[in-house]
Structure 1
Amino acid sequence: MQVHVLASGSTGNAIFLDFNHTKILVDAGISTRRIKNSLAELGTSIEELDGVFITHEHRDHVNGLATMTKKYNTAVYASMNTWSAMYCRDLIPDQCCKVLPGSLRIGQVQVEPFSISHDAADPVGFRFYNGDHKCSIVTDLGFVTDTVKKAIALSDVLVLESNHDIEMLEKGAYPWHLKRRILSNRGHLSNFDAGWTLARLERKPSMQVFLAHMSQQNNDPDLAMETVSSILTQQGCKLGSEIELYRTYPDRIVSSNL
């Protein structure tokens, strides 16, 4: 199993999962050209994708869909409410629009969505099972519910939101209504909350974690790593063996390989 975060952040999100004979894209919030070029760097093409799975309808997760589906006729899975709320739904060919079920098998992979707390129509995270391997993705949420904890437990690879540093956000230039939205239970997860989520999570002996969806205004990749690492170390976790952390970026690919 290979996990490649093609882009992560408020300007666009896309994650490519390569399970050898099954290839999946989670979100398409960057241009089709960027997705095509990124996949080409990894030795894959859009035509090889078995499906695109959408977490929610916000533009930074769906901006590339219209062009991709028109040009490549790619199958896209999203919940009914997400399709209804999606700004570009009318631009996507009907045959490409698949309603996301509670669970489905695609190629060699079992896909199971789970509900998350975010200010969207029907936001979800995803867990992907391939043999003994599990990959979970949860990148836009204001609060880690018991449902989320259970869903992401015992993952081999986890893509987890680490959106903002609370102090940077509170002292930053955002208007108060936007700060309040981000800090709410339906907003975005802070570095602090990401660290404590990992510290309290039921884990396998080793896990790879991508810290994702970092704010360019209210966070810094090094600060996110420092905050999360500090919490994990204080709680007795051995970094690099029990948990290996990866920074993610809006403009470069970050990869792991199991």
Structure 2
Amino acid sequence: MSTWAYDGTAMVGRQLRRVRNNPGLAILTQTMPITMLLFFGYVFGSALAVPGKEYRSFLVPGLLAATAAGGIMTGMFQAAADSHRGVMDRFRSLPVSRTAVPLGQAAADLVVTAAGTVPLLLVGLAVGWRVEGTVPEAAGAMGLLLLFRFACTWIGIFLGLLTRSEDAAGQLGGATFVLPLLSNAYIPTGNLPGWLRTLAEWNPISAVTTALRDLFGKAPVPRGAAWPVAHPVAGALAWSAALIAVFLPLAVRRYTRGEG
């Protein structure tokens, strides 16, 4: 095994042990989408009209996309905690690949996310959501979801290394809850005012949400939608690729330079 691969595997193992030693945080982040599904689905579901679908079926893909976007918060908090406590400085003093450290965090987050998605999918099936697409389409939807999570995690890692403060990361991470609200994750965007609809449909979460709805259930695309929503799979792939292309090198450079 090459040195880079060995270092990367070691960093993944460290991050997974970190999750195991702090199960409360993992349980909280994984149960929150289920709580929101039950709350929004049953409390607001009867009051929201969704063309062609029951609201809970409409909501499940949106919650999956919102959970993927949560990689910003978790990536930021973990990177900031390691920076604040001097762990990153310790890694930089060791003969460890500079890419392997942040990559290990991002890869471990994917493993945790993949496992944590299963309960949400099962609860979604229990409340009436169904996978109506083919098996390859469903597999593609899950791959797209994890790709977007990977991209969002790199945003979080960069911001965490930038702030170097757990308090600042916690406050900034809380603000990321607004992002799904400015998308089509929870409500259709067709009736929004023009400028707000444009903002929501150019939100990467909207492209991912629409792609999941299309791949899982052949949901119709809203008329007059912006390009990422009108071509959701291509839009989701383009957004994910762009975010990775920008924030992966920024995060690696920030880690390597180690500036406070």
TM-score using structure 1 length? 0.24
In our comparison, the structure showing a higher alpha carbon Rg is 2
* Higher fraction of strand: 1
TM-score using structure 2 length? 0.24
